């Protein structure tokens, strides 16, 4: 057994069935092992290593399983950096495997040599360069364990080529290495277990609140605490808002669902959140897009699996560190029933004083129109199980606020890092995960983001992946242009396409996919019908204005 075969065998034993990557010289021994085990693990070659990183990320988010991404040394490894940072910012479990030059060549500026472990140290949960064959198995077992446990996140293992080629002999059995089960130097991967006193204090604060409000964050997605959030909201009649990472926590039609809070949420939700006297914050890190809503004097209850997030940006009145699903399950029996919520969902902004929210709304008017013309027709076509993937920009915020989510955990986007070019790779990974239960996938992207990753259309065609790509095309970088409008006196530069406006329909057909241009809601619906009746991925270039 060679080192490369050992790695693949550990992946198989860990339940990995699909991986993403791009081959190159240094990593070829690992690809040779993947060839020998091609019936156990499917490999998807993308058009670019960054696309592979986002695909592994999307697969992990949609499936709840470990994502795996492989790249060669040097530029192959460094092309992963943005994808690694994206997964790190959103706590996504991805195992990145890179090859490097031979051990005796490290530090000599060899061809395609890079210190990828040093480069990615701040953006991985943990990383290693394997420097002896005897540490190969234990390192990979630690990597798989650490990526998934506690607060998940990306890990990276860099393997010199000669260790990939090292021959362990025919008699070597996985698990037989002296270090195979040694995790002694690793920090504990398990979240804390708050005391009964802490749980009782949380419940007491909720019961004493006159105007409680729940804000669900990405930690709810990670722990799968959707049912518990819904149960708490229903029992105590507490309105629920979400951060970007937890959109769809409650079904769109639930009267307790108030959608997204924060800078790009609705002004109505921002105003109501300011009226709350107690805010129950579950699995959120109070980023600069949301924490301004919590700056005044009120009761803040914070539940999170990562102790470093507690009191970091906003001081908590009562906090509990641990798994959100387990903590909410313990709180539920202690919370009193209420007959009605302290507020009702308001569809008419005139019912609420939004002037006190300190809030501008760059997507509200267009988003409302997109809901009727685009989001609702797509939801009817793909169904409530569909995964909704976005790139980054105003189209992202419009989808987060106005898409009619029927089930939780279906929204996939780059939140913490805000990576343009994330969408198509992530949609490909999500589709492979969704294929396990027959769910559809739609990608909402903007013309700026789509130009960054449209080469991955070849990956769709090559692997017969069927997804719907909707380009909400305003021929500009909408979010940046909005900043120029509001903060820089309308001095626009480098944000609008003047001459080189691509014909995305023709680009799609060039890759052997279906392509349509739509200028009206009627044309969009006809294109959507063609996608539903076809067998191929489809790109709809929908011309709009933000």
Question: If residue 159 lies in a helix (H) or strand (E), which one and from where to where?
Answer: strand 155-160
Which residue ranges make up each domain of the chain?
3-164, 196-357, 364-543
Question: If residue 215 lies in a helix (H) or strand (E), which one and from where to where?
Answer: strand 212-216
Residues in CB range of 316: below 8 A, 6 or more apart? 281, 300, 301, 302, 310
Of 74-83, 129-138, 164-173, give the lowest mean pLDDT range.
164-173
Of 157-171, 455-469, 476-490, give the lowest mean pLDDT range.
476-490
Q: Which whole number is the average pLDDT over 390-396?
A: 95
Distance CA 60, CA 34 (A): 20
pLDDT value for 196: 95
Q: pLDDT per residue over 497-523, tens digit each?
A: 766 778 999 999 999 999 999 999 999
| Mean pLDDT for the chain overall | 90
Q: pLDDT per residue over 101-127, tens digit each?
A: 999 999 888 999 999 999 999 999 999
Closest by alpha carbon to 1, among 136, 91, 106, 92? 136
Of 351-355, 396-400, 461-465, 504-508, give the lowest mean pLDDT range.
351-355
pLDDT value for 265: 87
- Contact by Cβ (8 Å): 525, 515: no
Homologous superfamily, domain 3-164: Thiamin diphosphate (ThDP)-binding fold, Pyr/PP domains (3.40.50.970)
Question: If residue 45 lies in a helix (H) or strand (E), which one and from where to where?
Answer: strand 42-45
- Contact by Cβ (8 Å): 11, 68: yes
What residue has token string 């479990």?
93
Distance CA 372, CA 521 (A): 9
Burial (Cβ within 10 Å: 0-12, 13-18, ≥19) of residue 384: middle
Burial (Cβ within 10 Å: 0-12, 13-18, ≥19) of residue 491: exposed
Distance CA 401, CA 371 (A): 9
How far is C-alpha 102 from the chain's CA centre?
35
Residue 180 has pLDDT above 50, yes or no: no
Residue 268 has pLDDT above 90, yes or no: no
For 196-357, CATH number?
3.40.50.1220
Residue 274: pLDDT band by 50, 70, 90 thresholds? Answer: confident
Distance CA 27, CA 357 (A): 53
pLDDT value for 173: 79
Give whole-number Cα distances, 495 to 277, 358, 362, 398, in Å: 41, 26, 16, 19
pTM for this structure?
0.93
pLDDT value for 187: 46
pLDDT value for 358: 45
Closest by alpha carbon to 202, among 137, 280, 150? 280
Of 32-41, 90-99, 138-147, 283-292, give the lowest mean pLDDT range.
283-292
CB atoms within 10 A of CB 90: 26
Q: pLDDT per residue over 20-53, tens digit each?
A: 999 999 999 999 999 999 999 999 999 999 999 9
Q: pLDDT per residue over 61-72, tens digit each?
A: 999 999 999 999
| Three-state secondary-structure class, residue 256 | coil
The C-alpha angle with vertex 26 and arms to 80 and 69, in degrees rounded to 5, equals 35
Residue 185 has pLDDT above 50, yes or no: no
What residue has token string 């990597």?
143
Residue environment code for 290-303, b if the CB has 16+ CB neighbours within 10 A, otherwise e: bbbbbeeebbbbbb
pLDDT value for 436: 61
Residue 351 has pLDDT above 50, yes or no: no
pLDDT value for 486: 84
**Phi, psi of 469, rounded to the nearest 5 degrees:** -110, 120
* The domain defined by 364-543 carries CATH number 3.40.50.970: yes
> Which residue has better confidence, 99 or 150?
99
Which structure tokens are listed for 350?
Answer: 């005139």
CB atoms within 10 A of CB 92: 28
Task: Report the percent of the chain where pLDDT is more than 70.
Answer: 92
Residues in CB range of 441: below 8 A, 6 or more apart? 382, 386, 387, 389, 427, 430, 431, 434, 467, 468
Residue 289: pLDDT band by 50, 70, 90 thresholds? Answer: confident
Q: Please, where are the H alpha helices in 27-166? A: 28-36, 49-63, 75-78, 81-89, 116-119, 136-148, 161-164
Closest by alpha carbon to 64, among 237, 226, 243, 203? 226
Residue 181: pLDDT band by 50, 70, 90 thresholds? Answer: very low
Q: pLDDT per residue over 421-440, tens digit each?
A: 999 999 999 999 998 666 89
CB atoms within 10 A of CB 360: 12
What residue has token string 């903060």?
487
pLDDT value for 438: 67
Identical fold, 3-164 and 364-543: yes
pLDDT value for 178: 40
Q: pLDDT per residue over 246-263, tens digit each?
A: 999 999 889 999 999 988
What residue has token string 């999170």?
304
| Three-state secondary-structure class, residue 249 | coil
What residue has token string 């991925």?
537
Residues in CB range of 19: below 8 A, 6 or more apart? 11, 34, 41, 42, 43, 44, 56, 68, 69, 70
95 secondary structure, DSSP code: E
């Amino acid at each position: 057994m060679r080192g490369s075969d050992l790695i693949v065998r550990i992946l198989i034993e860990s339940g990995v069935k699909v991986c993403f990557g791009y081959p190159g010289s240094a990593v070829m021994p690992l690809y040779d092992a993947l060839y020998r085990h091609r019936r156990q693990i499917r490999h998807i070659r993308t058009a670019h290593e960054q696309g592979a990183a986002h695909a592994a990320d999307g697969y992990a988010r949609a499936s709840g399983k470990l994502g795996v991404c492989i790249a060669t040394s040097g530029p192959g490894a460094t092309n992963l950096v943005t994808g690694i940072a994206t997964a790190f910012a959103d706590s996504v479990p991805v195992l990145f495997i890179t090859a490097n030059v031979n051990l005796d060549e490290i530090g000599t500026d060899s061809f395609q040599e890079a210190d990828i472990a040093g480069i990615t140290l701040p953006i991985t949960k943990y990383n290693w360069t394997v420097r002896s064959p005897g540490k190969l198995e234990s390192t990979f077992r630690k990597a798989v364990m650490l990526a998934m446990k506690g607060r998940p996140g990306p890990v990276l293992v860099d393997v010199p080529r000669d260790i990939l080629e090292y021959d362990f002999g025919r008699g070597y059995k996985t698990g037989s290495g002296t270090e195979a089960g040694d995790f002694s130097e690793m920090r504990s991967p398990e979240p804390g277990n708050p005391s009964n006193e802490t749980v009782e204090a949380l419940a007491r604060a909720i019961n004493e609140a006159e105007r409680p409000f729940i804000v669900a964050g990405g930690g709810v997605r990670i722990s799968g605490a959707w049912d518990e959030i819904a149960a708490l909201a229903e029992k105590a009649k507490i309105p629920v808002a979400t951060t970007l990472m937890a959109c769809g926590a409650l079904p769109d039609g639930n009267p307790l669902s108030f959608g997204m809070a924060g800078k790009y949420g609705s002004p109505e939700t921002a105003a109501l959140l300011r009226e709350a006297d107690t805010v129950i914050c579950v699995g959120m890190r109070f980023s600069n897009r949301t924490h301004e809503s919590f700056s005044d004097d009120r009761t803040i209850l914070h539940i999170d699996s990562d102790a470093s997030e507690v009191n970091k940006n906003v001081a908590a009145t009562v906090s509990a560190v641990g798994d959100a699903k387990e903590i909410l399950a313990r709180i539920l029996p202690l919370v009193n029933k209420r007959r009605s919520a302290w507020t009702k969902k308001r569809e008419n902004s005139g019912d609420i004083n939004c002037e006190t929210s300190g809030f501008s709304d760059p997507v509200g008017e267009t988003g409302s129109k997109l809901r009727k013309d685009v989001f609702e027709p797509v939801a009817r076509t793909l169904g409530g199980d569909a995964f909704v993937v976005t790139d980054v920009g105003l189209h992202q915020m419009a989808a987060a606020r106005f898409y009619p989510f029927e089930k939780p955990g279906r929204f996939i986007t780059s939140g913490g890092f805000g990576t343009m070019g994330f969408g198509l790779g992530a949609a490909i990974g999500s589709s492979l995960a969704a294929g396990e239960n027959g769910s559809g996938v739609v990608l909402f992207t903007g013309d700026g983001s789509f130009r960054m990753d449209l080469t991955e259309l070849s990956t769709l065609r090559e692997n017969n992946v069927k997804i719907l790509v909707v380009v909400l095309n305003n021929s500009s970088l909408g979010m940046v242009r909005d900043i120029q409008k509001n903060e820089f006196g309308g001095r626009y530069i480098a944000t609008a396409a003047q001459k080189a406006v691509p014909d995305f329909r023709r680009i799609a057909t060039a890759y052997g996919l279906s392509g349509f241009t739509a200028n009206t809601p009627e044309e969009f619906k006809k294109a959507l019908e063609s996608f539903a009746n076809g067998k191929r991925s489809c790109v709809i270039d929908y011309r709009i204005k933000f």
